[in-house]
Amino acid sequence: MSEVLIQQNNLSEAVSYLKNYINETPKIAIVLGSGLSHFAEQLSDKIIIDNNDILNYPKSTVVGHSGKIIFGRIKDNKKTSPYLCCFQGRVHLYESGNIKLTSFPIDVAFKLGVETLIITNAAGGINKNYHPGDLMLIKDFLNLTFSSPLRGFLTSKTKSNSFFSQKLIDVAKNVASENKINLQEGVYCWTKGPCYETASEIKMMNFLGADAVGMSTTPEVMKANYYGMEVLGISCITNMGTGISKQKLTHSEVTEVANKVKEKFTTLMKEIILSIDSQ
């Protein structure tokens, strides 16, 4: 059996498994990157699925990526969000080397009926005006892996020539200003990893126009765009890139800083989701 067929079987198995647990169609999918999983814990009417219970579902091996899918919604005093599907953690290209696995959750989300994707990650700051703990809206990306999950797929359903939704960027900026949250906006550079960059690589990325660097997100965004979803990307700047910061970078520093921005990140996400509904 070909690789593509095996994937399709896995996809329909995963989708029917999940459909057994939910009575509604999720409208917004949220991918929660390194150290940012806590967001899903405050959903109401939660349904929690462990990826390990889904046959052949790609598993993350990275600390801070818990590997659960959580359905539910955000509620405040006045508003209730559309039904959400949160992916806690993800599989990176460096884990399996299989580009198709990196965007598998997006395939699942699309088949479940999701129309909007909010995707988050931890990233290293390249722009010297950034600081650890900043949140950055992703306006575009640089793909330094030169890989794509769209190999074998033809034209994308999206009409725009941008991978990210300007409407959602505007929603996020309004919400941030109402809640006095400082937001950066920049270009995300995708590398294969798993090692952090050298100081020379960070200089090169800066020269190419990148504001932040990380090892994820781009393949998921490409796939979501292919499906015609509206996409918003948010990076949590957990550290400054090698050479900008003189200290040696570690994964625990990344998750620690992500943990410190918990409150700001949660408020921003919550308010964005509630505002999408009111559009």
Which active-site residues does the annotation give? 34, 65, 92, 94-95, 122, 215-216, 239, 251
213 touching ligand HPA, by CB under 6 A: yes
Work out how close the CB of 191 gets to ligand HPA at its nearest, in angstroms, rounded to a whole number. 6
197 touching ligand HPA, by CB under 6 A: yes
For 225, the token pair is: 């765009």
Q: Name which of 123 and 268 has its Cβ closer to ligand HPA.
A: 123
187 touching ligand HPA, by CB under 6 A: no
For 58, the token pair is: 């790609």
Q: Name which of 38 and 173 has its Cβ closer to ligand HPA.
A: 38
Outline where the chain has alpha helix (H): 3-19, 93-96, 99-102, 104-112, 166-178, 199-208, 218-226, 251-260, 262-277
How far, in Å, CA of 167 to CA of 230, rounded? 9
For 40, the token pair is: 């899903």
Q: Name which of 91 and 114 has its Cβ closer to ligand HPA.
A: 91
Q: Tokens 């405050």 appear where?
A: 42
x/- track of binding to ligand HPA for residues 108-127 (CB under 6 A): --------------xxx---
For 141, the token pair is: 């990306």
31 touching ligand HPA, by CB under 6 A: no
Q: Tokens 């509206």 appear where?
A: 230
214 touching ligand HPA, by CB under 6 A: yes
Work out how close the CB of 167 gets to ligand HPA at its nearest, in angstroms, rounded to a whole number. 28
Dihedral over Cα of 232, 29, 189, 208: its sign: negative
Note the residues at the interface with ligand HPA (CB under 6 A): 122-124, 196-197, 213-215, 238-239, 241, 249, 254
